[in-house]
Amino acid sequence: MASNTVDTSLERNAIGLTEVLFQSITHMAPAVATALSIGAATSFAAGITPLAVVLALVAALFTAYSMGELARHLPSAGGMYTYVARGLGSFAGWLMAWAFLLAEPIVPAALYASFGLFGASFITTLTGYTNDLLWLPLAVICGLIVWLLVYRGITISTRVGVALGLIEIGIFLLISLLLVVNAGSRNTLSVFIPGDAGILPALQGMVFCLLAFVGFEAAAPLAEETRDPKRTIRQAVIWSAVLIGLFYVFCYYAATVYFGPDNMSGFLTAFNSDPWGGMANEVLPGIGALLVTFAILNSSLANANAGANASTRAIFSLGRARILPAALAEIHPTYRTPVNAVHLQGILGIVLAVGLGLLFGWLRRHGNESPGEGGAKRLAVLPFENLGGADDEYFADGITDEVRGKLAALPGLQVTARSSSNEYKKTTRSPQEIGRELGVDYLLTGTVRWEKSDGANHVRVSPELIQVSTGSTKWQEPFDAALTDVFEVQGEMAGQV
């Protein structure tokens, strides 16, 4: 007699060690962590940041080993919920379930927004086109891609994760290798040895390095779809921490010896707060920064995919345990995916990414247009363009510096440092792009012409104040003066701004 039993389980034996390993690796987002997260550690660890990464790796391995042992004994789509509930009781498991629900489903949403922001920057760099809302359709596209991958099955989503993971790791390994080669005689193992301040700076930096390891546990929720899960999940959790830890160590060894151990305390703000993009451009002129941005884009998509895989399996498990509605435990008859959990994650992720992104954008614009009770306005003075002879370039630079100094002395105004602003000398980037990168509300730019004659020397300075949020000119007025009165002109210009 034929059975009418409906199979309500996930797809068994669908994936192996490679797919599960990269589920953990991509959930750690190695490109994003290298370019953004670990950079914060350099403010504390400075020239021994590689040692801070090693210490974080050792600490992460203790946790990874424990997680691996739990996965070996309790292979379940519930992951941490299952471990806590079995080990500490149902109430503790219930608390863990809700803690998870308040955190993990938000991760893909943040990554959709990240994909949109970096994607907009990538497009602007390539084409020159800019729009304040360019990030929005890109974020939605990222969300839809992840939604489709996770819906169609664990095999396709994890194999895409393998490909994406290899791309982002490959890009940063290439750049790091070139940094080591270009460092030449500056290569040294002293970056792993505490200096006069002892090991304390490395321990302080280690706190930020640990954030880069968050995600190696993401293999656990795939246990019910993995071949030989007791062995495979354990290996994936431990080896992902080991391999990506070594990757981080190599990348930050390369960055430290190239940038200079004595200079690493300023690493985070170097190259307009894009140190990896700046270094990449120096070793790969013209394409280096684009490769870094592409790797971050790739990493955002891969991390969102891995996060959605993990969160949908955990939501499925909580539905199966009736902590959440039972409908969330429903399985797609063909793809063997938790279909309602996938749809919930897809809708929630896109709505949060778009909604919060628009809210933050509105708050930023609103803040820029308000009278200023909430804080000082932020302004960057870009190098004034010299319209005279090449020998007069120093004069235009001097005018720029003097105006910047007078503006910095005014109350209610925060002026970006000279080193950051001067990176944009003779740039072709749009004011809105420059403003976003420098984090300012306004840009002051202009032209300088020094007219010399037998009778007298005259200076014509034409400043322009641009509001970043709209890209519009707020004020523009030429100033003409004899060379002897140029300091008076500078003061008058600062007052007008």
> Helix 17-27 to helix 288-320 angle, to the nearest 10 degrees?
110
Provide the 8-state DSSP code for 34: I
Amino acid 375: pLDDT = 55
* Cα 358 from chain centre: 19
Q: Which of the residue ranges 48-62, 92-106, 282-296 would you say has the lowest mean pLDDT?
A: 92-106
Query: Confidence class of residue 150 from pLDDT cuts 50, 70 and 90?
Result: very high
Give the DSSP H/E element, type plus range, for residue 239: helix 229-259
Q: Is 380 helix (H, G, I), strand (E, B) or coil?
A: strand
Spell out where 326-476 has E strands.
377-381, 385-386, 413-415, 442-452, 457-467, 472-476
Average pLDDT of the segment spanning 453-479: 75
Closest of 404, 427, 428 to residue 414, by C-alpha: 404
Query: Confidence class of residue 376 from pLDDT cuts 50, 70 and 90?
Result: low
What does each C-alpha distance from 452 to 145, 149, 391, 467 come to in angstroms? 62, 68, 12, 34
Q: For residue 369, which phi and psi values (nearest 5 degrees)?
A: -95, -10
d(CA 266, CA 258): 13
Do 384 and 450 form a contact (C-beta atoms < 8 A)?
no
d(CA 442, CA 272): 16
Average pLDDT of the segment spanning 244-265: 94
The pLDDT tens digits for 331-341 are 999 999 999 99
d(CA 180, CA 176): 6
- 469's tokens: 């949020």
d(CA 377, CA 441): 6
Amino acid 4: pLDDT = 46
d(CA 254, CA 183): 8
Position 302, amino acid:
A
Average pLDDT of the segment spanning 236-244: 95
Average pLDDT of the segment spanning 73-83: 79
